[in-house]
Structure 1
Amino acid sequence: MNITYIIGTVVAMGIMIAGMMFTTDASGAFTTSAKQLMNFLDPASILITVGCTFAVVVASFPPKMLKNLPRHFRIMLNTKKYDPMYYIDQLVELAQVARKNGLLALEEKANAQDDPFFKQAIMLIVDANDADKVRGILNNDIECMSARHDGVAGMYERGSSVAPAFGMVGTLVGLINMLKNMNLSGDGGSSSIGSDMGTALITTLYGCVLAHMIFNPIASNLRTRDEEEVLCKMIIVEGIMSIQSGENPKSLREKLLTFVDQNKREDGGGAKGEKKSRGKKKNEE
């Protein structure tokens, strides 16, 4: 679970709401009042900023991308799916099998893999394909996957750029209404100036909240998940190519560990324990 995203979003929302509740009494002392929150609730601002932002995002991307919104959130919140140490341990185990029994013995291991990319990589060397062909196919798969992920993150970045723009549109709408309704004939001011000015300012607030508290964190987390997946697939490619060339399992582990942080290298046994726990959990289910 991506706990930092949840904590950060909740804390940001909480601080903003707490700030909205602050007010001053007759003596000038600070107090809090829940009634203050109603000052920041404006249906016209919600309609202009939130409604138009989501409408433009829908208009900018194909339906097949939009229908995957729930899947995007699951991916964003899942920080445990791509563990480099898990793949390193798997590859070292494959190298040991191949060294003892040959590459054809890896077919059974390939069929046991849940990761389609990992399975494809193993089968490419089991089928005795040329090394350059294997590397080319796998690298092309990674590039295409990363391009798809970039498009998904771009959808949320699009929302982040559009939201402040419609906040400004709402501001202009409020100012135009205020000026149109302003009475300068000497018979008194317009009674709608307050509500029109409120719409003008609150739309800007909504636009900033949508951009920087909703869309931007989602896009950043999706790009982080993409980087994690690309790293694991690069490890798979390098490991598979080394297995095909008959590299020693110990040397293979040392090579693949260069892809991860020093702290994870020192805690190399953690992935094996996690692998066992995954298997145990799967059996229990």
Structure 2
Amino acid sequence: MDFASILGILSGLALIVSAIYLGGDFHIFINVPGLMIVVGGTIAATLLTFQFKDVLAAFKSAFIVFAQDRTKPQQMIHTMLELSKVSHRNGLLALANVETTSKFLKRACNLLADAASEDFIRQTLQTEIDSLIARHFTVQDIFKKMASYAPAFGMLGTLIGLVQMLSQLDNPDTIGPAMAVALLTTFYGSLMSTMFFLPIAGKLRARTLLEVQNLEIIREGAISILSNDNYLNVYERLSSYIPEAQRQPVNLGKGG
């Protein structure tokens, strides 16, 4: 569970709701037609822009980002060092028996066990990384587009409310409430954009960068194992992917 994201959403909503509650009647900020315009319009525009399966995949990815813990690069370096020890003790063929939940790591192990060439391993794994970046870009773009659609439909709802208000200028008592309702759609659009869609897109981008970093560690680790580098050389090669302050000292005794 990504507690930072959950904490950010809950604290942000709590502050906004508290400010509304302390400032007056909370019920005046509830307008069903305005929500229909903003939410319905944003969903409709998104479905017009992207394929339905891509939109579903985007929301699924967002849920995964919030629900699953991330794998730290230091942990991935440790994994590749363990595989290096396995290959030195039992040979490359033993890597075919490695069990892991990472399909990318499993493929790298299979390529090593099959004695593929360095160029083939590098190109194959790089293609996988490029494909992942392209898929994740689509997911991020969906939420970025939704972040731009929501305020636009909020403004559209405001214009609709203003037209309805201006049509009743002969009744001054209705102008104030009608103006408040008209402005609520802009509020809804801005809230959805800045509180949900843009942060989710940013979180997805950060998670993509982290995942790509882990995949690159696997790729370079596989190349090092294929080259029969010793334990320390593998560590030095992979540790360059993380800041020096986060690097953990290598235990040469375990490395053989």
1:171 aligned residue: 158
- Contact 2:42–2:153 (Cα < 8 Å) also in 1: yes
1:236 to partner: Cα distance: 0.3
1:155 aligned residue: 142
SS at match of 1:113: coil
- Contact 1:163–1:208 (Cα < 8 Å) also in 2: yes
Instruction: Name the TM-score, length of structure 1 as normaliser.
Output: 0.82
CA RMSD of aligned residues (A): 1.9
Instruction: Name the TM-score, length of structure 2 as normaliser.
Output: 0.91
Aligned amino acid, residue 145 of structure 2? R
SS at match of 1:246: coil
Match of 2:234 among 252, 262, 269: 252
SS at match of 2:167: helix
2:182 maps to 1:200? yes
2:2 aligned residue: 2
1:203 to partner: Cα distance: 0.9
The runs of 5 or more residues in structure 1 that have no matched partner are: 24-32, 184-188, 270-285
2:99 maps to 1:117? no
Count the aligned residue pairs: 251
1:21 aligned residue: 21
1:94 aligned residue: 83
Match of 1:58 among 30, 36, 47: 47
Q: Deviations over 1:98-138 (max 9, x none)?
A: 223322222222xx122111011111122122211110110
SS at match of 1:128: coil
2:211 maps to 1:229? yes
- Contact 2:58–2:139 (Cα < 8 Å) also in 1: no
1:138 aligned residue: 125
Shift in CA distance, 157/132, structure 1 to aligned 2, threshold 3 Å:
same
2:254 aligned residue: none
Which deviates the most, 65-74 or 228-237? 65-74
1:30 aligned residue: none
1:222 to partner: Cα distance: 1.0
CA distance in 2, matches of 1:143, 1:266: 29
- Contact 2:112–2:226 (Cα < 8 Å) also in 1: yes
2:34 aligned residue: 45
Q: Percent identity?
A: 32
SS at match of 1:67: helix
1:274 aligned residue: none
CA distance in 1, matches of 2:3, 2:69: 12
Shift in CA distance, 215/70, structure 1 to aligned 2, threshold 3 Å:
closer
1:128 aligned residue: 115
CA distance in 2, matches of 1:215, 1:10: 15
The runs of 5 or more residues in structure 2 that have no matched partner are: 252-256
- Contact 1:170–1:199 (Cα < 8 Å) also in 2: no
1:79 to partner: Cα distance: 5.7
Q: Deviations over 1:27-51 (max 9, x none)?
A: xxxxxx5xx1111111221111122
CA distance in 2, matches of 1:84, 1:58: 36
